[in-house]
Amino acid sequence: MSGTGSSLRRRLVKAEQQLADQAERAHRAWLANCNCKDQTFVDYAKNFEEEMNLRCPCHGFRRLGEIVRFDRAHPDARLTELIATYEAGLAQAESEQAHVGPES
């Protein structure tokens, strides 16, 4: 075993580590741009429409999480329609994402 070979290996390991750190940092910076939500409280159709028209810089389609409606006593038909549109978009985004991955 030559000294040169093991120092080359050491440098290689170090370079790989630096690359992994860089990728990790880039990934975290990327995720910091995500504006998806875990839960969305909905009052008026107009407000929900604004929310659902926003895009996520990371994921494209913006996830609104669990949708909590405040109009249960007097359901707003326009809002029901918008939520259905959002859910169809979400289903489509998820089926597209299932086909796009590091493996494909």
What residue ranges bind Zn ion (CB under 5 A)? 34, 36, 56, 58-59
Structure tokens at 20: 């992994």
Q: What gap in Å lies between CA 63 and CA 9, rounded to an integer?
A: 44
State which residue, 12 or 58, has the beta carbon closest to Zn ion. Answer: 58
For the CB of residue 34, give the shortest distance to Zn ion in the complex, in Å.
Answer: 3
For the CB of residue 55, give the shortest distance to Zn ion in the complex, in Å.
Answer: 9
Q: What gap in Å lies between CA 90 and CA 101, rounded to an integer?
A: 17
Angle ∠(6,7,9) on CA atoms, nearest 5: 65
For the CB of residue 31, give the shortest distance to Zn ion in the complex, in Å.
Answer: 8
State which residue, 25 or 55, has the beta carbon closest to Zn ion. Answer: 55
State which residue, 53 or 80, has the beta carbon closest to Zn ion. Answer: 53
Q: Which residues contact 45 (CB under 8 A, 6 or more apart)?
A: 76, 78, 79, 82
For the CB of residue 25, give the shortest distance to Zn ion in the complex, in Å.
Answer: 18
State which residue, 65 or 75, has the beta carbon closest to Zn ion. Answer: 65
